[in-house]
Amino acid sequence: MDARLNYFDSVTAGKILKPVMTAGKAVKDSPLPAAAQELVALRVSQINGCAVCVDMHTKEAAAAGETAVRLNLVAVWREATVFTEAERAALALAEEGTRVADAAVGVGDEVWANAAKYYDEEQLTALVILVSFMNMVNRLNIITQQPAGDYQVGQF
**Phi–psi pair at 16, nearest 5 degrees:** -85, -45
Residue 124: inside a domain: yes
What tens digit of pLDDT does each residue of 14-65 get? 899 999 989 999 999 999 999 999 999 999 999 999 999 999 999 999 999 9
- Residue 48 belongs to domain spanning: 33-143
61, 39 Cβ separation under 8 angstroms: yes
Which of 83, 96, 88, 79 is CA-nearest to residue 44? 96
Contact partners, residue 113, CB within 8 Å, separation at least 6? none
Alpha helices in 29-147 (DSSP H): 34-48, 51-63, 68-73, 85-98, 109-118, 121-143
Residue 21: inside a domain: no
Calculate mean pLDDT across residues 107-122: 97
pLDDT reported for residue 69:
97
* pTM: predicted TM-score of the whole model, two decimal places: 0.93
Q: What is the mean pLDDT of the chain?
A: 94
Calculate mean pLDDT across residues 126-152: 94
CATH number at residue 84: 1.20.1290.10
| Amino acid letter, 97 | G
Residue 10: inside a domain: no
Residue 12: inside a domain: no
If one counts the domains in the chain, the total is: 1
Residue 137: inside a domain: yes
Which of 65, 67, 40, 64 is CA-nearest to residue 54? 40
Residues composing the chain: 156
User: In 3-state terms, what secondary structure has residue 50?
Assistant: coil
Q: Is residue 6 very low, low, confident or very high in pLDDT (cuts 50, 70, 90)?
A: confident
Residue 28: inside a domain: no
